[in-house]
Structure formats: structure tokens, C-alpha cells
Amino acid sequence: MSTSAKYSGKTYTFNHGVHPEEFKELSSHCEIQRMPFVEEYILPLGQHIGAPSDCLVSKGQKVRRGEKIADPIGFVSVALHSPVDGTISEVGIFPTPNGQVLPGIKIKIDPYSTQRMDEAPIDLEDLDRKGFISTVQNAGIVGLGGAAFPAHVKFAIPEDKTCKYIMLNGCECEPFLTADHRTMLEYPEEIIDGIQILNRYLKADKAYIGIEANKPDAIEALKKIATTSTFPIEVIALQVKYPQGAEKMMITAILGEEVPTGKLPLDLGVLVGNVGTIKAISDYFRKGIPLMERIVTITGTAIKNPANVLVPIGTPMKDVIELCGGITDDAARILLGGPMMGAVQKSLDVPVVKGTSGLLALTSNEVRDLDEYSCIRCGKCVDACPIFLNPSMMGLLAKKGLWDEMLEYNIMDCFECASCSFVCPSGIPLVQSFRVAKGFLREKAVREKASA
């Protein structure tokens, strides 16, 4: 809190939340390095939320780096681009990080290619709002914070709503991860430029960049560039607390307003984007680089040389880990994303996808395998939940399989930040059961819709 006060004089924060240990020092000092090209790339067609893309290529076809290989189907869908010069070696099904085997494209690299791409800036002058949105869609840009929600869908603001504030999320509240931190430190011009491009079409009043106070160097770097902008951009240091980086929490911290149940940030006139997403927009409009590579933090105590790497999308995990010296012998668990919300992986044959923000390897003595005891009603989870739900009660209901009753406790508002499981002294798998409940309820809604 003291660091926060030093930068702003006011503490920007939200109520509840937890304070996990940060472990950012493992990789926060590592400059972003480029991942060398590997032999094969696997690109699943459904890397984003929404309809999977439509494959445009066939086996044996030659593709250029940055060439579009899949078209969006419908509005909530984005295009996909080849990260390398090469040949399509297979169009089939491949394992993906979520454990399913889904349709995708395998590309074999052309070993003699220089992999050079000519800069092809896009003229913003003759691009109207509609054109801008479809350009973003065809650039394959999705939210790089982790959910991979197509960015252009957010930018297409309905007639009856206005965007007052553009809010950039540079919190990176997950322990271990430093990809956004390094992006802000090394590409502040691109981020500010991205906001200006976006504002041409959104016509907002003001932009905020929210950064947790544990990244003073990134705050300084962005503040320096922000002063050169004619459009008002305020860089705000937020209290170091998990989950500060959840968009609803950040809005509460900066504006002091709460996004109501079932509503979107846009209902408050706010558009939230990750700093990486905004950089991707600048990259496409200024240099013509579509979203075909992203910055990934490879870290954890079980990784020999933690690093921040610019990885072409589709690179198999095992190659990325190899670049970082491999994993130590006592590695016990590998996660995609941070330790709080990340997804455990069973195989390293899966590729880096658009939503991969980090790759974390933990040693066996860091992995908690708690025995589960009864709920002692201490209320710690209630104090931790950032959206004021009652995890204790929902946990009891989940145990009995009373999914429908959980709806009354607003289970669908839970965004699975895992704060409740983190604080539970009885080791009750709270967030895990909520994830199951939400999945079941969603399935049920689909079934009921189908039968109705």
C-alpha cells in the first residue's frame, strides 16, 4: 500500500481479495527474447471464444508468414494467420490446452526461408468505424489477458451505449507472470499508439491505464510516454492485491463503481482491454503484423532459466520449455497461465495458443495436495470473494450436487479467481466445484433450449 501511495496519493483498490506471494522476481528482469523458429506448428481453429474459424488451406499448400489461413465464421470469431513460411502438412485434429482434441492446421516450416515480413501499414484515413472493426477481426486479434475473447466484438459498441472511458489492464495480478509487465516496459510507445488508434473510432473522453504498484518501472515508462499524447491518458497505480486484474475489480478500483450482476463494463461506459491486446492493434495498423505471435512468460521454480519469450502462436510447449533450459527433475505440475487460475496440463505436445499468457512449472514441494476437511464456517472465503458471493454455502450445495440451488447464490457471477480455495483452511475444493457447477448449468441450459 505504501508504494501505491507514493505514486498517486490515493489508494485505488477494491474490497475483499487475497494477497498471494508474488514470485515475480524470477522473470521480471528478463528482457523479452524472440523464440527461434522450430520445425512444426500446430494451430487449433478454435483458439478464441466463439465459433471456430473456417480453414482456408489444404494439405501440401505453401503459406507465407502472416498469411491468413482461416476465416472467421460469423461475428464472434476471428481469423487465423500462419506464423511462419512453410507448407501445410496436415489438416486434422490435434490436442489443445483445454484437453480436447479439436480441428486444427499443422504447418511444417520452410527451412530455407528467411521468415522476413515486409511492413505493410494500414491507412487509417480511409477506414470508417465498420471497416476498423472488420480489420481487427481479420487481424485475428483477441483479448490477450487469457480469456481470448475476440477484440472487435468489444469495440463494436451498440447504438444505445457510449464508451466514456477506455481502460487498459496492466495489473497482471497473477503471481509469477511478467509478460504484461515486460510489454509495458519495452513497448510503451506501441501501447499509447494503440490507444490513440482505438480512440479514433470510439471517441472516448479519457483513457486509464491501471497497473499494480509493484511495477514502478512500467508505471514510469508509460507515464513518460502518456504525457506526449494529446488525448488524456492517466496511468494509475493500483494496490497490489489479487484479483486486481479482473476487469470488474479494476473498474471498481478506478471509478469506484460496481458493474451490476449480468451487466457488462460497457453499461458503465467502460471498455477494458489488456495492454497486450492494444499493442497487437498498434502492430497491425502500423506494421501490418497480424496476431501470429505473443509474449509468454515461461517461469516457475521448476524451470531452469525463466524468461519472457515472444512465441509464434502454434509452437509446441515442449520446444518453448526446451528454450528455457527444460524443467528440473522435481517438477510436479505444469500450468498454462498463473498459479491461481491457470489450467493444469497433462501433455506438453499442445501448442501455445492466443490465450496463453504464461507457462508455469512447479516443483513437488510447492504443489499443495491438501486433505479435505469439513467446513468450519470460519467465513474466510466470504471475506476473500471479490464479488461478495458466499463460497462456503455454495461449496456445501455443490457437494450435494444441488446445482440449481446454487443459481440462487449467483454462481454464474463467479469468475473463478480461486481466492476462496486459496484461503480455505479446510482444503475444500471450492472453485473447482464451482467450475463443475457452472459447466453443468451451462450444459443444462443448452439442453433445455434444444428441447423447448
Partner 1 sequence: MEGDILIPLAILGGLGLLFGIILSIAYKKFKVYEDPRIGAVEDLLPNSNCGACGEPGCRAFAEQVVNFEMNPAKCTVSSETGIIKIADYLGVEANKEEKRVARLLCAGGIKEAHNLASYKGGMSTCRGEAVVTGGSKDCSWGCLGLGDCETICDFDAISMNKDALPVVDTEKCTACNDCVEVCPKGLFVIMPIGQKLIVQCKSLLEGDLAESKCSVACTGCSRCAADAAPGVIEIVDNLAVINYDLRDLTSPAAIKRCPTDAIIWLEGDNQFEDQKPTDLPLGRVEEAIDREVYYQ
Which parts of this chain interact with partner 1 (CB under 8 A)?
Answer: 93, 95, 97-101, 331-334, 343-348, 369-370, 372, 401, 427-429, 432-433, 435-436, 439-440, 443-444, 447
In terms of Cα–Cα distance, which of 97, 152, 111, 100 is closest to 129? 152
Cβ 257 to partner 1, closest distance in Å?
A: 32
How far is 38 from 40, CA to CA, in rounded Å?
A: 6
Cβ 426 to partner 1, closest distance in Å?
A: 10
Smaller CB separation from partner 1, 5 or 370: 370
Smaller CB separation from partner 1, 15 or 432: 432
How far is 404 from 427, CA to CA, in rounded Å?
A: 24
Cβ 319 to partner 1, closest distance in Å?
A: 15
Instruction: Summarize the chain as % helix, strand, coil (round to 5).
Output: 30, 20, 45
Smaller CB separation from partner 1, 278 or 331: 331
Cβ 19 to partner 1, closest distance in Å?
A: 22
Smaller CB separation from partner 1, 110 or 405: 405
How far is 235 from 75, CA to CA, in rounded Å?
A: 32
Cβ 337 to partner 1, closest distance in Å?
A: 12
Smaller CB separation from partner 1, 101 or 147: 101
Residues ≥6 apart with Cβ < 8 Å to 248: 258, 259, 265, 387, 415
What is the greatest pairwise CA distance in the chain?
64
Alpha helices in 49-205 (DSSP H): 129-138, 151-155, 179-186, 188-202
Looking up cell 520452410, which residue turns up?
Answer: 110
How far is 213 from 4, CA to CA, in rounded Å?
A: 5
Looking up cell 519495452, which residue turns up?
Answer: 186
Cβ 348 to partner 1, closest distance in Å?
A: 7
How far is 417 from 362, CA to CA, in rounded Å?
A: 19
Smaller CB separation from partner 1, 189 or 416: 416
In terms of Cα–Cα distance, which of 187, 176, 385 is closest to 168? 187
Smaller CB separation from partner 1, 40 or 186: 40
Cβ 174 to partner 1, closest distance in Å?
A: 18
Cβ 442 to partner 1, closest distance in Å?
A: 12
Sheet with 206-212, side-by-side order of all strands: 233-238, 206-212, 165-170, 270-274
Measured N-to-C along each axis, helices 188-202 and 216-226 cross at an angle, to the nearest 10 degrees, of: 50
Smaller CB separation from partner 1, 263 or 442: 442
